[in-house]
Structure 1
Amino acid sequence: MRTWQSEMSTFTDALTGRTIKRLTTTGNNVHMYFTENSFVQGKNEIIFQSDRASGKNRAPHEDPEFSIFRMNLDTGVIEQLSDDIVRSASAVTKTPEGHLIAYTTDCEVKVLNTETGVTTLVYRETGAYQMASVPSIAPNRQYVAFCRNEDSRDPIHYHGANYAGFKERFYAIKDGRITLAYLDGSGSFDVLKDTHQVGHFQFSPVDSTLGMFCHEGPWNLVQQRIWFLDFISREARPCFRQNEEDSIGHEFWTQDGYVFFDNRGPGHDGTITSDKTQAVVKEVAVNQNTMIPFVGLMDRNGKLVKKIDMPFYCNHYHANPDNTVLVGDDVDKLVLIDISGTQPKLTELCGHKTSWHTQSSHCHPTWDWDGSRILFASDEGGRVQLYLLEL
């Protein structure tokens, strides 16, 4: 596989005076989705996606051909780990220390062992279904699970620009599956068949028999977004039980096994576009509210263990290791929000200057495993690049 020499440089943020390290300059470069973590636990490395080896000069909305890479954050040297083209910029996950990487191509799910270099085909789609979102590796490292939805002529929103097809697919898809495949390639089966478009499946980090998934679509149209899935009983049950006024999404597992979610209230579809408006409910501003938005932490039994009113707007949040501080991406800035007390306290981190034009251009700021650094993306300059901020 090919290697690239360091592209790292530093600059001073004009907004806050903080020093920011730019990690990449070649092609488009995207870190793992914010529900995952690109940082390699125990090593000063990240695993990320890039189209630098494709030989094609494509803008982010032109579906760049992403493959998987590793960067040494001490030297900046970049190493290509696989020449497979992944299904989307966010179709990759890994175990915390990076020994196993699972990813989807157009019709296959594969697992790469980075210690041996062996890639195992664990699932091939032969029916009228499409892979959805990111695969998830169980903490026991015996199997991977992922979402599949029936084929639709409507585009999936993480291809193209500005959430094209987001509302249309929500109505069109009536058959969604959660599928399990064994990591040794010995077989697969559907754990759950649903009557909605499903997405964002994630195993609990502390229990290989418990997962979480969502009914995907505009938040204001989805009646019950977040679901737990018991892999023993194969039963789904609601996580946070929604009422009429709730618009919920961007859920993820915290390191200690709670589910974080964001509730923005009536009229919020969970999107932002390059016009700085919502994609579906354009008449409601991204930071316009008829109720006080809040974020919450749920335990595995569906109990709300923490609720924090959130009078600020961010598109995504990610929690530090002890769930006391969030990093978020508002329209123009990255911010830290202290939620250790009864009232949230906001600190500006830096400007991000991203366009919000494509899913890959979303900042998706993500904490390192120890809470000392934040990785984010921006398409300032026309291509998506990676940036590192040390706290």
Structure 2
Amino acid sequence: MLRPYGCLWIAAAAIAQTPSVEQPPRTWIDKDTGHRIVRLTDEPGSASLYFNQNGYTADGKKMVYTTPAGISVLDLATHAVKAVVHGRVRVIVTGRKSQKVYYTRDGAVFSTDVDSGATREIAKLPARGSISTVNADETLLAGTYVEGEGTDYNPNRPAQPQTLDQPRNKGEMMEQRLAAKLPMALFLVDARTGQTRVIHRATDWLNHLEFSPTDPSLLMFCHEGPWHKIDRIWTIRTDGTKLTKIHTRTMAMEIFGHEFWSPDGKVIWYDLQIPRGEDFWLAGFEVETGRRTWYHLQRNEWSIHFNVTRDGKLFCGDGGDPGQVAKAPDGRWIYLFRPELIQNRGIDDPSFVQPGVLRAEKLVNMSKHQYRLEPNVSFTPDEKWVVFRSNMFGPTYTFAVEVAKAAPDAK
């Protein structure tokens, strides 16, 4: 559980590599929302993980984050910080079974136990290969590589501290990469032996891999590119069978993406716009039954990324500025959403979409945040805080906002 106050202890190596800057306040009450905000990290350039990467240890007590010096871990109860990996690396995910963080460095994939510091090289990666996800029991890792002599530039891989901002030419690069039709392989790595095997090949741009948080044999991935030109969301079994498209477009310029799993592994959630930039939904697909639930949002409430609590009762979003697809005039907020289904007084057909709405509450005024840096919201394991990264004070730091409103006399 996060505390509103507390000291952070920073590794000497991190301090030595961090420029001296005036730090933002440790904690304050947002005057526009009444919610308490806490700065979790001291290092300029430090950041919580991408919205769909699990950044919390299996015991729910610690949060992994990146710094310019490597990877650190924050104790959510005491706010103590410990550096666990030194040097420039690419974080994959924190394990759901163990206390390990997985990452790649120098053409290989590694794991480090955040408690003991024990580090292991799992496997060398194929040429131009990357790893994106680890399965629920930590026996398999999944990634992609371009076959032949092609070069894969992937602007959507989770960024590192040196490149947290989105590239200014991302749209143009997405178009060029989609048109290239490079042959790609989706492969698995056995975490015990380091052996690799390919389970899917395509000339579609394969990206955004994410294993189910509960089913070790189920992998979600996407066809990447401009959303209005692709059938984005897919699942596949680890034996290469049951390739399944999750959403089928029914309208020109309908877009869907930024997909993520519910923590229980039962639902795939994703941003749905029918059509692009006009009508906004958070859509859910139940993997076992195929049932669909769509929650409607207002334009200003649309968010670059959404997330959900472990019990599925609350959602959060990181908003967006007028330059985003929603072109929201007042969308620069961190939001809390309470889902509300619309009562069905008509035909009860399981093939129909179950509609609902998300009732929004503003948590953080992000008017000083530059949205080239995506905030990437997530709930803490105790569901009491929403964690996000922000440059509202200049350099990037990681913050958390309390879900419950502060007492009226709080300072």
Give the aligned partner of residue 348 of structure 1.
362
Q: Distance in 2 between matches of 1:234 and 1:20?
A: 46
Q: Give the corresponding residue for 2:269.
A: 260
- 1:223-262 per-position Cα deviation (integer Å, ceiling 9, x unaligned): x100011113434221122334320101011012111111
| 1:32 has 2:16 as partner | no
Task: Tell whether 2:392 aligns with 1:380.
Answer: yes
Q: Confirm whether residue 320 of structure 1 aligns to residue 309 of structure 2.
A: yes
Output the TM-score relative to the length of structure 2.
0.76
2:217 partner SS: strand
Task: Give every structure 1 segment of 4 or more consecutive aligned residues whose post-TM-superposition deviation is greater than 4 Å.
Answer: 3-8, 157-160
Give the conservation status (yes or no) of the 8 Å contact 1:102–1:135.
Answer: no
2:38 touches 2:400 (CA, 8 Å); kept in 1?
yes
Q: Which residue of 1 aligns with 2:292?
A: 305
| 1:182-331 paired onto structure 2 within 5 Å | 182-222=190-230, 224-245=231-252, 246-257=254-265, 258-266=267-275, 268=276, 288-289=277-278, 292-301=279-288, 303-311=290-298, 312-331=301-320
CA displacement, residues 273-293 of structure 1 (integer Å, 9 cap, x when unaligned): xxxxxxxxxxxxxxx41xx32
Distance of aligned partners of 1:126 and 1:153 in 2 relative to their CA distance in 1, 3 Å threshold? closer
- Answer whether contact 1:212 1:229 (CA < 8 A) is retained: yes
Aligned: 1:21 with 2:35: no
Q: Is the CA contact (8 Å cut-off) linking 1:23 and 1:76 kept in structure 2?
A: yes
Query: Which of 366, 369, 381 is the matching residue for 2:381?
Result: 369
Q: CA-atom RMSD, angstroms?
A: 2.6
Could you say if the C-alpha distance between residues 8 and 184 of structure 1 is closer, same or farther in structure 2, counting changes exceeding 3 Å? farther
CA shift in 2, pair 1:43/1:255, >3 Å: closer
Does residue 70 of the first structure (1) align with residue 70 of the second (2)? no
User: For residues 303-361 of structure 1, what are the alpha-carbon distances to aligned partners after superposition, in whole Å with 9 as ceiling and x for unaligned?
Assistant: 1331222233211110122323210111210111211332321111111332122xxx2
Matched residue of 2:376: which SS? coil
Match for 2:42: what amino acid? T
Mark the CA change 1:82 to 1:325 in structure 2 (over 3 Å): closer, same or farther.
same
- Partner residue of 1:281? none
User: Bigger shift: 42-51 or 115-124?
Assistant: 115-124
Instruction: Answer yes or no: is 1:83 the counterpart of 2:97.
Output: no
Name the CA distance, whole Å, in 2 between partners of 1:178 and 1:153: 13
Identify the residue that residue 178 of structure 1 maps to in structure 2: 186
Report % sequence identity: 19
What corresponds to 1:57 in structure 2?
none
Residue range with higher mean Cα deviation, 22-31 or 159-168: 159-168
- Gaps in structure 2 of 5+ consecutive residues: 1-9, 16-22, 321-331, 343-356, 404-411
In 2 relative to 1, CA 7–13 (structure 1 residues): closer, same or farther, beyond 3 Å?
A: closer
Q: Which moved more, 1:4-13 or 1:210-219?
A: 4-13
* TM-score when normalising by structure 1: 0.80
Q: Which structure is larger by alpha-carbon Rg, 1 or 2? A: 2
8 Å CA contact 2:155, 2:167 repeated in 1: no
| Counterpart Cα distance in 2 of 1:330 and 1:186 | 40
> In 2, Cα distance between the equivalents of 1:173 and 1:152?
11
Point out where structure 1 has 5 or more consecutive residues left out of the alignment. 54-66, 269-287
